[in-house]
Structure 1
Amino acid sequence: MKDLNLLYVFEALWRDRSVTGAAENLGLTQAAVSSALKRMRTEHGDKMFTLVGRRMEPTPHTTAIAQQLLDALAMIRNTLVEEASFDPLTSRRLFTVRTRDIGEVVHLPALMQRLEVAAPHIKVRTVFKPIDETLSGLANGRIDFALGFLPALETGIHRRQLFRQHYVCVMRKGHPLAKRELSTELFCEQQHLLVEYSGSGHQVLEKALIDAGARHQIKLRLPQYLSAPHFIIASDLLWCAPEILVQRLMPHFELITKPVPLQLPDFDIGIYWHDRYHRDPGNKWLRDFIVTVMSDDFQGQA
C-alpha cells in the first residue's frame, strides 16, 4: 500500500472485523475508516473485506497478502521505536494483560501498588481469552502481555519465567481427613472439584486423576478458580490448586492443605509477549517491572 495510513486501517480491520471497532480503536470516525477501505479496494482491485452477518470478513485475496502487510507495518513500527522513549512517570498508556482470575488475585494487587509510585498514570486492563485469541491479540497489539502457565503459546512468542509452582490438596477445616495422612487410596476415594480450561496446562490434573482411577470421582467442574473455595468450605470435596493461590485464600477461608499423593510436575508461571513488540520501550519497561515485582513478591511469600 502506498499510503502508510492505510496499513494502520488494514491492521485494525483485520484485527477487529468491524468498521465501527476499527474506528474506535484508531480514534477515527467510521466515515474515515470507510473511506480508507474504499481506497484499499481501488488500489488492490478487490473488495478486501465484505460483510458476512455482522462481521467484516477478509476476502481470499486479503487473506493471502495479510501477513506481508502486517509484517511490513511491524518493521515500520520497529524503526520508529528505536527513536522513541518511554517515561513511566508521565506515561498515560493503557496496558492490557491476559490472565485468569488466579492471576488477578496473585499478581495484580502487588503490581498496582508498586505502579502507583513508579508509573502513577499508567492504566491496566485484564482480559481472559482462549489461547488462539490470546495469540492473535499479542500479535496485533490488543494484548500487551499474558501472565500464567501457558505452554500452548508458541509462534512468535517470548517468555520469561517468574517462578515455579506446585499443586497442593485443599480441604475444609473439619474435613473427615483433616487429621489423617492423605494416602493415594484415600485421595482417590474422595469426590473432587476440578478447575479446568484447555490450553492452560492445568489439564494435567484431570489426567492424573484419571490415571489414578478417580475418573468418576470428579464431582464438580468449574472454569475459574475464585468460586472454588466457597464449594470447598461447604462440602467434603477435595481441590488441587496452585500453592500460591491457596496462600492468598487461606486468610479469608477456613482451609487446610496437604501434599497431593500423586505424581504431579511442578510448573512455571511466566510472562509472555509477542516478538513484534519485543523492542517497544513501554512494553519492555513494564515487563521488566513485572519481573521485578513478582520476584520480590514471591520471595516474600517463600
Structure 2
Amino acid sequence: MNISRRNFLRNGAFALAGTTLLTNKLLAARGAAKEVLGIQLYSIRDDMKKDPSGTLKQLANMGYKYVEHANYVGRKFYGYSAPEFKKLLADLGLSMPSGHTVMGKQHWDAAKKDFTDEWKYTVEDAATVGQHYVISPWLDESLRKTYDDFKAYMDVFNKSGELCKRSGMKFGYHNHDFEFSTQLNGQKLFDLILQNTDPSLVAQQLDIGNMYHAGGIALDILKKYPNRFELMHVKDEIKTDHKEGGMSGNYESTVLGAGIIPVKEVIDLGRKSGGTKYFIIEQESYQDKTPLEAVKIDLQKMKQWGY
C-alpha cells in the first residue's frame, strides 16, 4: 500500500512521541528504582576462583539476589562469556547490576580522542550481562601526579560516561584511600574527582571502609556531597597490626557491626540524603571465619537493619 509523505511523517511523529514517552517512563522507573542489596564477589574471591557456579549457588541459598563482579579478563566473567554468565546468574535467581573493571591509560587513545577496542568491548560485555553500572575501582598513580594530567583524565571519565550511556548504562568510580591522602593544587583528590565529573554521566560508589585508612569519614563526605553516591560499598573496619593490601592505615575489614565504623548510621544517611540505591556488601578480611561464613553474617545484619 502506498503511503503519502504527509501520512508517513505524521505516523513517524506519533511513533517518535510514543518512543519518547516510553523512554521517559523507563528513565523515571529507573530513577525510582527500589534499593538493591548485593555483594561484591571479591569478598569471596578464592571461592569464586575455585568454583564460580557452586559459590554463586551458596550465595543464592543465603538469600542474596544481586552480585557485583571483580573479575573480567579476556572478555570473560570468572571464565564465562557475558551471555553464559548472565544465564548462570539467572538460573540461580541472581542478577548483576554493577561490576568492577579498571579503566586505565591504555584504554584511551589520546591521538584519536577515542577509547580503544578493549574498553569498548568491556562496555559491550557489561551491557550484555545486564549491568547498569561499569565501575572503575582504581586510578593509576601516573594519572594523579600533576593537576593537569589528573584533570585531563577526568574528561576521559566523562567521555566513558557518554560511551556507557549509549548502551543504557552509567560509568562509575570507586574510591580507595589515596583519594583522601593525596592533594593536587591544595585540594584532596576525592574533592577534585567530584568537582570535575558530570554526575549525570559518572556515578560515585562510596567505599565507607577504604577511606578510613586515610582519615576519611563517610558521614562527613555524605553531608558534604548530598545525592552524589548512587552506590555504596558497605564495610566495617577494625584495628590490626598489619596493613591491608593497598591501604596505608593499620585497619582491616570485619563483619558488619563488629568494627569501629558506625555502619548503620552511614547507610541510613546514604538512603536519606546521599542518593544511594545500591548497597553492596564487601568484606576482605575475615579473622576467625571463612569468607562465606562472614558474608552470610553480613547479609543477616543488613536485613536486621531493614535493608
TM-score band w.r.t. shorter chain: under 0.3
TM-score, structure 2 as length reference:
0.23
Structure showing greater radius of gyration is: 1
